[in-house]
Chain A
Protein backbone atom coordinates (compact mmCIF):
# COMPACT_ATOMS: atom_id res chain seq x y z
CA UNK A 1 0.00 0.00 0.00
CA UNK A 2 1.43 3.38 -0.97
CA UNK A 3 2.15 5.77 1.86
CA UNK A 4 1.18 9.39 2.28
CA UNK A 5 2.62 11.55 -0.47
CA UNK A 6 3.19 15.27 -0.39
CA UNK A 7 4.03 17.61 -3.20
CA UNK A 8 6.12 19.53 -3.71
CA UNK A 9 8.89 18.40 -1.39
CA UNK A 10 10.70 21.71 -1.41
CA UNK A 11 9.50 25.19 -2.15
CA UNK A 12 10.99 28.66 -2.10
CA UNK A 13 8.70 31.68 -2.09
CA UNK A 14 9.00 35.36 -1.31
CA UNK A 15 7.08 37.38 1.22
CA UNK A 16 3.60 38.30 0.14
CA UNK A 17 3.17 35.39 -2.24
CA UNK A 18 0.80 32.55 -1.67
CA UNK A 19 1.47 28.83 -1.76
CA UNK A 20 -0.54 25.66 -2.14
CA UNK A 21 0.67 22.33 -0.80
CA UNK A 22 -0.83 18.99 -1.70
CA UNK A 23 -1.28 15.77 0.23
CA UNK A 24 -2.48 12.40 -0.99
CA UNK A 25 -3.48 10.10 1.87
CA UNK A 26 -3.16 6.36 2.09
CA UNK A 27 -5.88 4.69 0.06
CA UNK A 28 -9.01 4.27 2.16
CA UNK A 29 -8.06 6.88 4.73
CA UNK A 30 -10.66 9.58 5.11
CA UNK A 31 -8.93 11.89 7.57
CA UNK A 32 -6.12 14.23 6.64
CA UNK A 33 -4.38 16.47 9.14
CA UNK A 34 -1.80 19.17 8.58
CA UNK A 35 0.99 20.22 10.89
CA UNK A 36 3.61 22.93 10.88
CA UNK A 37 7.02 22.16 12.30
CA UNK A 38 9.49 24.90 13.13
CA UNK A 39 12.54 24.97 15.39
CA UNK A 40 10.95 27.66 17.51
CA UNK A 41 7.40 26.38 17.94
CA UNK A 42 7.86 22.67 17.38
CA UNK A 43 5.09 20.58 15.87
CA UNK A 44 1.79 22.39 15.78
CA UNK A 45 -1.57 21.20 14.59
CA UNK A 46 -3.01 23.23 11.73
CA UNK A 47 -6.28 21.55 10.82
CA UNK A 48 -7.99 18.26 10.17
CA UNK A 49 -10.30 17.30 7.36
CA UNK A 50 -12.59 14.32 7.38
CA UNK A 51 -14.87 13.48 4.48
CA UNK A 52 -14.36 16.94 2.95
CA UNK A 53 -15.29 18.74 6.17
CA UNK A 54 -12.95 20.61 8.45
CA UNK A 55 -13.21 18.95 11.85
CA UNK A 56 -10.82 21.09 13.83
CA UNK A 57 -8.44 23.95 13.39
CA UNK A 58 -5.39 24.90 15.39
CA UNK A 59 -4.40 28.34 16.54
CA UNK A 60 -3.29 29.79 13.22
CA UNK A 61 -4.36 32.98 11.41
CA UNK A 62 -6.88 32.95 8.62
CA UNK A 63 -4.07 33.08 6.06
CA UNK A 64 -3.82 29.35 6.56
CA UNK A 65 -6.63 27.44 4.92
CA UNK A 66 -7.26 24.04 3.50
CA UNK A 67 -9.69 21.79 1.79
CA UNK A 68 -10.30 18.16 1.08
CA UNK A 69 -11.60 16.64 -2.09
CA UNK A 70 -13.98 13.75 -2.56
CA UNK A 71 -11.06 11.38 -3.13
CA UNK A 72 -9.66 12.45 0.29
CA UNK A 73 -6.74 14.31 -1.24
CA UNK A 74 -6.12 17.54 0.59
CA UNK A 75 -4.56 20.88 -0.12
CA UNK A 76 -3.48 23.60 2.22
CA UNK A 77 -3.00 27.18 1.20
CA UNK A 78 -1.06 29.96 2.84
CA UNK A 79 -1.70 33.44 1.56
CA UNK A 80 0.40 36.56 2.02
CA UNK A 81 3.43 34.61 3.11
CA UNK A 82 5.57 35.86 5.97
CA UNK A 83 9.13 34.97 6.85
CA UNK A 84 7.84 33.10 9.89
CA UNK A 85 5.91 30.72 7.66
CA UNK A 86 9.17 29.02 6.73
CA UNK A 87 8.71 25.54 8.07
CA UNK A 88 8.30 21.87 7.38
CA UNK A 89 4.66 21.19 6.64
CA UNK A 90 3.60 17.67 7.43
CA UNK A 91 0.49 15.91 6.34
CA UNK A 92 -0.89 12.82 8.05
CA UNK A 93 -3.72 10.50 7.18
CA UNK A 94 -5.77 8.09 9.23
CA UNK A 95 -8.80 5.92 8.80
CA UNK A 96 -10.92 7.85 11.26
CA UNK A 97 -10.44 11.05 13.17
CA UNK A 98 -6.83 11.97 13.74
CA UNK A 99 -6.84 11.99 17.49
CA UNK A 100 -8.16 8.49 17.99
CA UNK A 101 -6.64 6.65 15.11
CA UNK A 102 -3.05 6.00 14.21
CA UNK A 103 -1.75 8.69 11.91
CA UNK A 104 0.63 8.00 9.07
CA UNK A 105 2.79 10.92 8.09
CA UNK A 106 4.11 12.00 4.74
CA UNK A 107 7.68 13.17 4.12
CA UNK A 108 6.67 16.81 4.38
CA UNK A 109 7.04 19.91 2.28
CA UNK A 110 9.86 22.20 3.29
CA UNK A 111 8.87 25.78 2.62
CA UNK A 112 11.36 28.61 2.67
CA UNK A 113 10.06 32.16 2.57
CA UNK A 114 12.59 34.82 1.55
Chain B
Protein backbone atom coordinates (compact mmCIF):
# COMPACT_ATOMS: atom_id res chain seq x y z
CA UNK B 1 0.00 0.00 0.00
CA UNK B 2 1.22 3.47 -0.77
CA UNK B 3 2.13 5.62 2.17
CA UNK B 4 0.86 8.73 0.44
CA UNK B 5 -2.05 8.48 -1.94
CA UNK B 6 -3.08 11.25 -4.24
CA UNK B 7 -5.98 9.59 -6.00
CA UNK B 8 -6.54 12.41 -8.46
CA UNK B 9 -4.02 12.07 -11.26
CA UNK B 10 -5.24 15.10 -13.16
CA UNK B 11 -7.81 17.79 -12.49
CA UNK B 12 -9.03 20.25 -15.06
CA UNK B 13 -10.94 23.37 -14.05
CA UNK B 14 -11.90 26.71 -15.47
CA UNK B 15 -10.44 29.84 -13.96
CA UNK B 16 -12.19 31.09 -10.81
CA UNK B 17 -13.44 27.65 -9.88
CA UNK B 18 -12.52 26.25 -6.47
CA UNK B 19 -10.58 23.01 -6.50
CA UNK B 20 -9.58 20.54 -3.78
CA UNK B 21 -6.61 18.22 -4.08
CA UNK B 22 -6.85 15.13 -1.92
CA UNK B 23 -4.07 13.50 0.05
CA UNK B 24 -4.40 10.40 2.19
CA UNK B 25 -1.44 9.07 4.12
CA UNK B 26 -0.58 5.98 6.08
CA UNK B 27 1.77 5.80 9.03
CA UNK B 28 2.17 4.03 12.37
CA UNK B 29 4.18 6.83 13.86
CA UNK B 30 2.61 9.35 16.20
CA UNK B 31 5.12 12.03 15.24
CA UNK B 32 5.36 12.87 11.58
CA UNK B 33 5.23 15.79 9.20
CA UNK B 34 3.09 16.50 6.18
CA UNK B 35 3.98 18.78 3.30
CA UNK B 36 2.54 20.13 0.10
CA UNK B 37 4.75 21.20 -2.80
CA UNK B 38 4.00 22.76 -6.15
CA UNK B 39 5.98 21.83 -9.24
CA UNK B 40 5.43 24.22 -12.14
CA UNK B 41 6.55 23.27 -15.67
CA UNK B 42 10.02 24.64 -14.91
CA UNK B 43 10.54 21.62 -12.66
CA UNK B 44 11.59 23.23 -9.40
CA UNK B 45 9.52 22.15 -6.40
CA UNK B 46 8.12 25.02 -4.41
CA UNK B 47 7.28 24.54 -0.75
CA UNK B 48 3.71 25.43 0.16
CA UNK B 49 3.07 24.20 3.69
CA UNK B 50 4.41 22.02 6.50
CA UNK B 51 2.28 20.57 9.25
CA UNK B 52 3.34 18.38 12.17
CA UNK B 53 1.16 15.56 13.41
CA UNK B 54 0.22 17.35 16.60
CA UNK B 55 -1.16 20.42 14.92
CA UNK B 56 -4.53 19.75 13.37
CA UNK B 57 -5.41 23.37 13.01
CA UNK B 58 -6.47 24.20 9.49
CA UNK B 59 -4.57 26.90 7.72
CA UNK B 60 -5.43 29.54 5.18
CA UNK B 61 -2.92 31.48 3.15
CA UNK B 62 -4.51 33.76 0.62
CA UNK B 63 -6.38 31.60 -1.86
CA UNK B 64 -4.84 28.43 -0.43
CA UNK B 65 -6.22 26.45 2.48
CA UNK B 66 -5.39 23.11 4.02
CA UNK B 67 -7.56 20.71 5.96
CA UNK B 68 -5.72 18.23 8.18
CA UNK B 69 -7.78 15.44 9.71
CA UNK B 70 -5.92 12.76 11.65
CA UNK B 71 -9.11 10.74 12.08
CA UNK B 72 -9.21 10.09 8.34
CA UNK B 73 -5.44 10.42 7.73
CA UNK B 74 -6.05 13.14 5.22
CA UNK B 75 -4.36 16.42 4.44
CA UNK B 76 -6.33 18.07 1.67
CA UNK B 77 -5.46 21.24 -0.17
CA UNK B 78 -8.01 23.69 -1.56
CA UNK B 79 -7.39 26.50 -4.02
CA UNK B 80 -10.13 29.09 -4.04
CA UNK B 81 -10.86 31.05 -7.21
CA UNK B 82 -8.21 29.22 -9.20
CA UNK B 83 -6.02 31.07 -11.67
CA UNK B 84 -4.09 29.98 -14.73
CA UNK B 85 -0.84 30.44 -12.79
CA UNK B 86 -1.99 27.70 -10.44
CA UNK B 87 -1.48 25.16 -13.21
CA UNK B 88 1.19 22.79 -11.96
CA UNK B 89 1.73 19.38 -10.43
CA UNK B 90 1.07 19.34 -6.71
CA UNK B 91 2.74 16.84 -4.42
CA UNK B 92 1.78 15.79 -0.94
CA UNK B 93 4.55 14.30 1.19
CA UNK B 94 4.82 12.48 4.51
CA UNK B 95 7.99 12.50 6.64
CA UNK B 96 8.41 9.70 9.16
CA UNK B 97 11.15 9.20 11.72
CA UNK B 98 14.01 6.92 10.71
CA UNK B 99 17.49 6.54 12.12
CA UNK B 100 17.41 9.72 14.16
CA UNK B 101 16.18 11.71 11.21
CA UNK B 102 13.16 11.66 8.97
CA UNK B 103 12.53 10.13 5.57
CA UNK B 104 10.07 11.81 3.24
CA UNK B 105 7.72 9.90 0.98
CA UNK B 106 5.96 11.70 -1.82
CA UNK B 107 2.63 10.99 -3.41
CA UNK B 108 2.47 10.54 -7.18
CA UNK B 109 1.22 14.08 -7.60
CA UNK B 110 -1.91 15.70 -8.97
CA UNK B 111 -1.65 17.65 -12.19
CA UNK B 112 -3.88 20.70 -12.03
CA UNK B 113 -4.81 22.42 -15.26
CA UNK B 114 -6.59 25.72 -15.00
CA UNK B 115 -8.15 26.91 -18.24
CA UNK B 116 -8.73 30.61 -18.88
Contacts and interface: CB of A to CB of B under 8 A. Distances in A.
Most B C-beta atoms less than 10 A away, residue of A45, A88, A100, A106: A100
A99 B45 contact: no
Contacts of A104: 47
Contact of A50 (B44, B95, B101, B107): B101
A107 B50 CA distance: 21
Contacts of B108: 42
B95 A98 contact: yes
Contacts of A56: 98-99, 101-103
- Majority DSSP secondary structure for residues of A touching B: strand
Interface of B: 33, 35, 37, 42-47, 50, 91, 95-109
B47 A102 contact: yes
Chain A, interface residues (CB within 8 Å), range? 20 to 34
A106 B44 contact: yes
Given A56-B99, A103-B104, A105-B47, 11 more contacts: A33-B104, A35-B106, A43-B106, A44-B106, A45-B103, A56-B98, A56-B103, A103-B35, A105-B37, A105-B44, A107-B44
Interface string A75-90: 0000000000000101
B33 A105 contact: no
B47 A103 contact: yes
Contacts of B106: 35, 42-45
A16 interface: no
A98 B102 contact: yes
